[in-house]
Amino acid sequence: MPDARLPLFREAPQDVLRRVWGYPAFRGQQADIVEHVCAGGDALVLMPTGAGKSLCYQIPALVRHGVTIVVSPLIALMRDQVDALRQLGVRAAYLNSTLEWRETQEIERACEQGELDLLYVAPERLVTPRFLDLLERSRIALFALDEAHCVSQWGHDFRPEYLQLSILHERFPIVPRIALTATADAQTRADIVNRLNLHGAKLFLSSFDRPNLTYRILSKDAERRQLLDFIRRDHAEDAGIVYCMSRAKVDAIADWLRQQGLDALPYHAGLDSQVRQANQDRFIKAEGVVMVATVAFGMGIDKPNVRFVVHMDPPRSLEAYYQETGRAGRDGLPAEVLMLYGFGDVVQLRQMVEQSDSPANYKRTERQKLEALLGFCETVRCRRQTLLSYFGEDYPKPCGNCDTCANPVETYDGTIPAQKALSAVYRTGQRFGVGHLIDVLRGLATEKVTERGHDKLKTFGCGKDLSKQEWQTVFRQLVAYGFLAADPEGHGGLILTDQAPALLKGQESVRLRKDPAAERKSARGSSRSGYGGGGAVRPRTAPIDLSKEDDELWHALKALRLDLAREQGVPPYVIFHDATLMEMVREKPHDAVALGLLPGVGAKKLERYGDYFLDVILQHT
């Protein structure tokens, strides 16, 4: 029962934000959400990764009386969040299968006695009679349903246990509920409202833009070298994720990166679960590990300072792309995402859809998703605009922070080269792969060409004006736009589609993109990087460019943080985030008062770690 003698709130939200987290102000809609929930309203919060969803329930947890119950689907996530909260001096705990009986009992006791601010639980535990009884005996401030898209079957990580969470509303009708997710599509949203019975909840929908991510897609030519250049030049000491389509490729790329001297680890479902766990743990707790992985990796990875995500092969859809790239830069500092994309990928993606056994209506959706993905890869528009418009969001101006903005792509009337390419396919009998077709077009009398008499064809040598690579680009786009397809019998040959004749006869024209050469301006605006070309560029080791002295301080602060984290067995970022260390480098505070003013330095952390960090700063100034 609410106690009439208690003041309404324990502390004002703004004061909690300053005192505990050390942040000067709320971001975006946080203030409105917090106010609404503190006042007892239900809320559905749709915000992209990294926008700060956690504070939307963690602050009310410290403002309202009682314990906030957080439903979270993954043990690793719970542990991370609780570690981070305890560092802030918040009374937080989790209940899950990894705990011993005695620990469980102790936490239950603390919950009942009002000694906890936040209690994290998995959905399957929440609905047990034992736990519901505990809730009856405790004073509950709020229910927070994290990763609420897990309730939807449409989503990528459906968790049937989430369906039972509507019980909370029935058993505890006066306790407010806040559901949060980074998945915004309309179908999933409707599912969340219906299945969690959130019809009365206020909807808080944020923009899904991730302004600190730099988007880039490179035409794949020598993928390993492209990857290595990208990491060496711009991300020498950074943590990152490299996604590959297959397990075999994950193993091969991880091995190869290690041979090149990088701290790379593999992760895929074929690895022993202990190895997988150990690799994930290292990625989280060490600094600068590159995780080479299939898409099995990433769900529940909360590491805020993932500085890059590379797709060695295109993702399955734009939804998947948004989600996978979204794991970079949660901390809001600049991060880069790179996709390598080539002729073979387009052929393979198209083949996968055409040959899938899915029912017709499903196949239609698959095809539409593929068109959207290919359209994104081939676009000459701003990537961010293209991506957000796919999700129904209007981004008014080109972003200036993607490859097509940094290096505008030239297009040209490609009708003639396209006709030459299609005619080469036709005249050679629609049986040959792109390598042979390009030889024919460029007039190379290889053995294969002469043996088949292809040097006698009208198209032989009619395409000498373009290089091999330029032809590859033409063929890739012709497959992407659906003028050519892979031979359904396999064999790697290309065939004409029903769209081809109109183009061949000149009834239709086509504009093609000229892929920018490997040399490039950095999308970040500095001229630091340009893969492929030589140039003595200092590899960047901090999220932003630093002077030599500042770079040394940055490294010293990181080393100290790692030591402190190791002592306690927690990830370094729960001590201080990179953004806070960057502030220390920038401001170089000389006393506790100045240090305490930096964003991310709350009262508890100042008390605990202030002297260590001040020492290092003083040594370097």
For binding to Zn ion (CB under 5 A), which residues are involved? 382, 384, 398-399, 402, 405
Is residue 246 within 8 A of residue 294, CB to CB? The reply is yes
Q: Does 50 bind ligand ADP (CB under 6 A)?
A: yes
Least distance CB 97 / ligand ADP (angstroms): 24
Min dist CB 402 to Zn ion, Å, is: 3
Query: 399 is in the binding site of which of ligand ADP, Zn ion, none (Cβ under 5 to 8 A by kind)?
Result: Zn ion
User: Are the CB atoms for 414 and 510 separated by under 8 Å?
Assistant: yes
Q: How far is the CB of 346 from ligand ADP (least distance, A)?
A: 32
399 versus 575: smaller Cβ distance to Zn ion? 399
Judged by beta carbon, residue 76 or residue 127, the one nearer ligand ADP is 76
Is residue 331 part of the contact set for ligand ADP (CB under 6 A)? yes
Instruction: Choose the contact partner of 384 out of Zn ion, ligand ADP, none; CB within 5 to 8 A by kind.
Output: Zn ion
Which partner, ligand ADP, Zn ion, none, binds residue 330 by CB below 5 to 8 Å per kind? ligand ADP
Contact 49, 330 (CB under 8 A): yes
The Cα 531–Cα 517 span in angstroms is 10
First vs last C-alpha separation in the chain: 56
Q: At what angle do helices 578-587 and 548-568 cross, to 10 degrees?
A: 140
Q: By CB under 6 A, which span of 47-55, 373-381, 481-489, 506-514 interacts with ligand ADP?
A: 47-55
Nearest to 193, CA basis, from 201, 181, 185, 184: 201
Quote the least distance from Cβ 109 to ligand ADP, whole Å.
Answer: 29
Interface positions, 584-613, toward ligand ADP (CB under 6 A): 599
**Residue 336 interacting with ligand ADP (CB under 6 A):** no
Candidate list 8, 27, 549, 586; residue touching ligand ADP; CB under 6 A: 27
Q: Can you tell me which of 330, 384, 513, 540 binds ligand ADP, judged by CB under 6 A?
A: 330
Q: Please report how close the Cβ of residue 49 comes to ligand ADP at its closest, in angstroms.
A: 4
326 binds, among Zn ion, ligand ADP, none (CB under 5 to 8 A by kind): none
Structural contact between residues 510 and 476, judged by C-beta atoms closer than 8 angstroms: no
CA dihedral in degrees (314, 318, 319, 324; nearest 10)?
40
- For the chain, the C-alpha Rg in angstroms (whole number) is 27
Region of residue 497 (phi > 0: left; psi between -120 and 50: alpha; otherwise: beta): beta
Query: What is the helix, strand, coil percentage profile of the chain, to 5?
Result: 45, 15, 40
By the rule CB under 6 A, 561 interacts with ligand ADP: no
Under rule CB under 6 A, residue 383 binds ligand ADP: no
Binding characters for ligand ADP, 157-176, by CB under 6 A (x = yes) = --------------------
In whole angstroms, give the CA distance from residue 159 to residue 169: 19
Q: Can you list the alpha helix ranges (DSSP code H) found in 51-118? A: 53-63, 75-87, 101-112
Beta strands in 13-150 (DSSP E): 43-46, 67-71, 92-95, 118-121, 140-145
Residue 23 interacts with ligand ADP (CB under 6 A): yes or no: yes
Smallest gap, in angstroms, from Cβ of residue 72 to ligand ADP?
A: 11
| Binding residue (CB under 6 A) for ligand ADP from 43, 51, 312, 503 | 51
The answer for residues whose C-beta is within 8 angstroms of residue 418's C-beta and 6 or more apart is 474, 478, 483, 503, 510, 512
51 binds, among ligand ADP, Zn ion, none (CB under 5 to 8 A by kind): ligand ADP
Question: Could you tell which of Zn ion, ligand ADP, none binds residue 436, using a CB distance below 5 to 8 A set by kind?
Answer: none
Residue from the set 49, 72, 87, 419 that interacts with ligand ADP by CB under 6 A = 49
Stretch that binds ligand ADP, among 49-57, 292-300, 359-367, 452-460 (CB under 6 A): 49-57
What SS3 state is found at 602? coil
Among 13, 36, 42, 53, binds ligand ADP (CB under 6 A): 53
> Considering the rule CB under 6 A, would residue 47 count as an interface residue with ligand ADP?
yes
Between residues 523 and 606, which has the closer beta carbon with respect to Zn ion? Answer: 523
For 427-470, give the DSSP string: HTTS---HHHHHHHHTT---HHHHHTTGGGSTTTTTTTTS-HHH
User: Minimal distance in Å, beta carbon 214 to Zn ion?
Assistant: 9
Q: Which of 52, 123, 342, 414 binds ligand ADP (CB under 6 A)?
A: 52
- By beta-carbon proximity to Zn ion, the closer residue of 148 and 309 is 309
325-333, 353-361, 395-403, 429-437 -> range binding ligand ADP (CB under 6 A): 325-333
Query: Which of ligand ADP, Zn ion, none interacts with 26 (beta carbon under 5 to 8 A by kind)?
Result: ligand ADP
Q: Which is nearer to ligand ADP, 287 or 378 (CB)?
A: 287
- Choose the contact partner of 382 out of Zn ion, ligand ADP, none; CB within 5 to 8 A by kind: Zn ion
Q: Which of residues 274-303 bind ligand ADP (CB under 6 A)?
A: none
Give the interface size with ligand ADP as a residue count (CB under 6 A): 18
Cβ neighbours of residue 299 under 8 Å, at least 6 residues apart? Answer: 74, 157
265: Cβ–Cβ under 8 A, 6 or more apart, which residues? 254, 279, 282, 283, 289, 290, 291, 292
Contact call for residue 147 and ligand ADP (CB under 6 A): no
Residue 537, amino acid: V
54 binds ligand ADP (CB under 6 A): yes
Is the Cα dihedral 135, 138, 140, 144 positive or negative?
negative
Q: What is the 3-state secondary structure (H, E, C) of 353-376?
A: HHHCCCCHHHHHHHHHHHHHHHHH
In this chain, which stretch among 19-27, 269-277, 415-423, 529-537 interacts with ligand ADP, using CB under 6 A? 19-27
Residues near 446 by beta carbon (within 8 Å), at least 6 away in sequence:
439
**Closer to ligand ADP at the Cβ: 80 or 345?**
80
Strand boundaries in 220-289, DSSP class E: 239-243, 264-267
Give the integer Cα–Cα distance in Å for 307 and 239: 6
Report d(CA 379, CA 538) in Å as an integer.
Answer: 32
Using rule CB under 6 A, residue 243 touches ligand ADP: no
Q: What backbone torsions phi and psi does residue 478 show, to the nearest 5 degrees?
A: -65, -35
Name the one range near ligand ADP by CB under 6 A: 115-123, 133-141, 330-338, 560-568: 330-338
Contacts with ligand ADP by CB under 6 A lie at: 23, 26-27, 30, 47, 49-55, 304, 330-332, 577, 599
